[in-house]
Structure 1
């Protein structure tokens, strides 16, 4: 498993501030942030405004749109890594911080071969 290539691929595809929290021969667990670009933020704002009456709060539809977008894009990134590297990959997103809607924190697991644990179990062990 080429860990350096995985990290580079993540950073080239909008996942920044990647921090490897566990690394073993056939396993890597990392956290990072999916950063939304200007077009994604503009689309989310337009969507949120179209979902509420004038003057109403747009936070809920805005947050929902951004989380869905990040999940879709992260899914594509993981699928590409699975196909290109022949590895297994899992990810989960954390709750979006309504004070910082320009990124979404994500935890990721990359492995080669069978694992007895999933990402949530490992994060619990690491107390993350």
Structure 2
């Protein structure tokens, strides 16, 4: 089995609506080793692309903790019918999500190595 890796640095993939944020363009390609007419140098080959379910790109613990707290507070606000509380928590969720889904990450915030699985 062969393997090739790629990383396009600060270049980002921006998904279409309704998704927000950016995603790094990095990955690992695994391919069968072969020789002669069965090698990768000849013909067309299928490529299967799998993206993990964790869309966050930056390991921002402060933003993640604030996001989790706001999500819990949003549930409480929804249960009690507190529309102002809902709006406040949704604003926090959007702001923290932007920090977690930024690319490249803010200074001092390490990227999540999501391309490694």
Larger CA Rg, structure 1 vs 2 = 2
- TM-score, normalised relative to structure 1: 0.27
Higher relative contact order (CA closer than 8 Å, sequence separation 6+): 2
The answer to which structure has the higher helix fraction is 1
- Between Structure 1 and Structure 2, the one with more strand by share is 1
| TM-score, normalised with respect to structure 2 | 0.29
